[in-house]
């Protein structure tokens, strides 16, 4: 008994010397998240890590799932990145949530912000290489929009017999903001006003146009724009479960020129 009391006294002394949270981590690694919170280390909390572990187990048990997420989220990769967060607060769960609930997804991941590509690189890099067939260390080709060689491209359908319409679709983000899964309603409002101000500043007649706010838009106008392939329609379960359309149709803007 005296020995146990002595050891208890020594333990108390050790706790006092090195700091309670750090000492608990030394003796009980399972409370790692409590310690990280105490030390204000920017890593995922215990609740989020539990969700990540549960999601991983679900993927492993889903025999019908053939996504790139399942293929590349190995136990080794999981243990390497499950505690990490980006500066804007994105966790691995934010990245994989959609693919875990949509087991029929081809890819299964979404980047909540730009830093996610670096923080969760052990998962993103192999998936990007597999899907795009572009190795991680390959050099990006120089930008060439072909403006100086436009005359080299003859009309594809000069008599108008075959091509009804064409569309070029691209996506862009605004510097200083996360991507859709991490955007707040206030973020959208600020970004919306920035876009409106930019549209109003155009002097070129070909660029000038009109813009619509989706909130309050008449259903007939909205349906017409969808049918003409100008407006995205809601209802994509993959985006919804990635938290990419939480504020639809509020603070969404459509511009036409």
Residues contributing to the annotated binding site for ATP:
165-169, 229
Spatial distance between the Cα atoms of 253 and 213, rounded to a whole number of angstroms: 5
Q: CA 255, 253, 184 angle in degrees (round to 5)?
A: 150
Cα 239–chain centre separation = 10
Distance CA 22, CA 20 (A): 6
Measure the CA dihedral 107/111/117/119, to 10°.
-110
What residues are designated binding site?
A: 165-169, 229
* HSE toward the beta carbon, residue 117, CA cutoff 13 A: 7
Per-residue tokens: 85? 């967060």
Nearest to 214, CA basis, from 176, 241, 188, 180? 188
- Terminal CA-CA length for the chain: 85
The structure tokens listed for 82 are 């499950």
What stretches of 62-203 show up as alpha helix (H) in DSSP?
68-72, 75-81, 92-101, 116-119, 121-132, 185-200
Determine the Cα–Cα distance for residues 100 and 53; give it in Å rounded to an integer: 11
């Amino acid at each position: 008994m005296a020995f146990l009391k002595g050891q208890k006294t020594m333990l108390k002394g050790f706790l006092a010397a090195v700091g309670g949270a750090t000492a608990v981590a030394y003796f009980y690694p399972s409370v790692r998240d409590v310690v990280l919170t105490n030390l204000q280390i920017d890593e995922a909390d215990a609740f989020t890590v539990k969700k990540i572990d549960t999601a991983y187990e679900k993927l492993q048990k889903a025999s019908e799932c053939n996504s790139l997420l399942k293929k590349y989220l190995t136990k080794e990769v999981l243990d390497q990145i499950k505690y990490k967060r980006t500066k804007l607060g994105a966790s691995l769960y934010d990245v994989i949530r959609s693919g875990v609930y949509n087991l029929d997804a081809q890819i299964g991941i979404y980047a909540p912000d730009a830093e996610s590509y670096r923080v969760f690189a052990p998962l993103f890099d192999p998936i990007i290489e597999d899907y795009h067939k572009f190795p991680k260390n390959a050099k990006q080709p120089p930008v060439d929009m072909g403006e100086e060689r436009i005359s080299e491209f003859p009309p594809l359908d000069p008599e108008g017999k075959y091509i009804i319409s064409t569309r070029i679709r691209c996506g862009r983000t605004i510097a200083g903001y996360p991507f859709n899964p991490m955007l707040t309603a206030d973020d959208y409002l600020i970004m919306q006003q920035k876009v409106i101000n930019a549209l109003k500043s155009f002097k070129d007649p070909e660029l000038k146009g009109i813009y619509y706010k989706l909130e309050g838009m008449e259903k007939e106008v909205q349906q017409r724009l969808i049918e003409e392939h100008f407006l995205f329609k809601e209802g994509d379960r993959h985006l919804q479960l990635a938290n990419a359309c939480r504020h639809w149709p509020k603070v969404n803007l459509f511009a036409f020129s």
